[in-house]
Amino acid sequence: MANVKINSALFAVNLMIILVLFFGLFSNKSFLDFINGGFYVFSVYFILSLIFFVIKGKFFDGIIYSFRRFSSRVAKGNANEDYLQKRDPSETLSSQFLSIWYYQTIILAVFICFLLLLYYSL
């Protein structure tokens, strides 16, 4: 139930951002400009979703581990094991945050598709 409230509130915030972009950036104030503002917001969500997907897929964990190990050996001159206690990048993203983020991305995509269907049917 709390997840639904959070998603609804975030969607309302996204609509407000789209309206701010619509009134702030576009001079024509047409329906197509509103769709373009929505696409700008969606594209930011989509690109960050792809980045989060790659991070959560443990792509950078090995690279970060190697850099930490190398810097630990070079900086101190010995094999100190304190880099083992640090969290991996894939562990820093919580599953609740990612589910809310992915849900907002999907809802914005559906919203933009609905607006485009409405625009081309008129």
Tokens coding 110: 């559906």
CA 67 to chain centre: 25
Domain residue ranges in the chain: 2-121
**Could you tell me the pTM of the whole model?**
0.82
Flag residues of the chain having pLDDT under 70: 1, 76-84
pLDDT at residue 78, as a whole number: 57
pLDDT at residue 81, as a whole number: 66
Q: Which DSSP state fits 26?
A: -
pLDDT at residue 26, as a whole number: 85
Measure the CA–CA gap between 4 and 44, rounded to whole angstroms: 22
Tens-digit pLDDT profile for residues 16-51: 999 999 999 888 889 999 999 999 999 999 999 999
Residues 6+ apart with CB under 8 A from 74: none
